């Protein structure tokens, strides 16, 4: 299997409300997102993507549009974390992303995979698809999810 991977970074805040240690507090991370795509190499003479699975600039543009720019410099909050939701709603024009699960790196990776899986769809009949997503919360801690 041939794959390509594009790495992007963004900053976001969150908290793990029931966590036993400091992660229950409001804090942020410099996240690193790795998007791995698979598919056949495009064989289309005269096409800009000829010889590629997908142009890396297109991978970046789509990831930014659908995920990175949405989450960058936002506070990602669990929809049942009422105290933080109330606080964030009191801040004028605050960038808040509400998700349906606790924003652990594992859950954020799942949400990101679900979003991006629908974005990276087959082009030129090559079977293009999102194969793997890696989300680093810190340089030493990350979650990986692959298409089964």
Catalytic residues: 23, 73, 137
Cβ(134)–Cβ(31) under 8 Å?
A: no
Give the Å distances, CA to CA, from 39 to 3, 55, 109.
Answer: 7, 12, 22
Q: What single-letter DSSP state applies at residue 89?
A: H
Strands (E), 1-148: 3-14, 27-38, 74-78, 96-99, 129-138, 141-146
């Amino acid at each position: 299997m041939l794959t390509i991977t594009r790495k992007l970074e963004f900053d976001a805040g969150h908290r793990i409300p029931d966590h036993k240690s400091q992660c229950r507090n409001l804090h942020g991370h410099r996240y690193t997102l790795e998007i791995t795509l698979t598919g056949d190499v495009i064989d289309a003479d005269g096409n800009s993507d000829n010889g590629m699975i997908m142009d890396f600039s297109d991978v970046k543009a789509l990831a930014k549009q659908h995920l990175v720019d949405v989450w960058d410099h936002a506070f990602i909050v669990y929809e049942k974390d009422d105290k933080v939701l109330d606080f964030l709603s009191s801040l004028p024009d605050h960038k808040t992303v509400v998700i349906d699960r606790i924003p652990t790196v594992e859950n954020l990776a799942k949400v990101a995979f679900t979003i991006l899986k629908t974005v990276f769809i087959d082009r030129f009949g090559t079977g293009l698809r999102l194969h793997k997503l890696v989300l680093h919360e810190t340089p030493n801690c990350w979650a990986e999810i692959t298409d089964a």
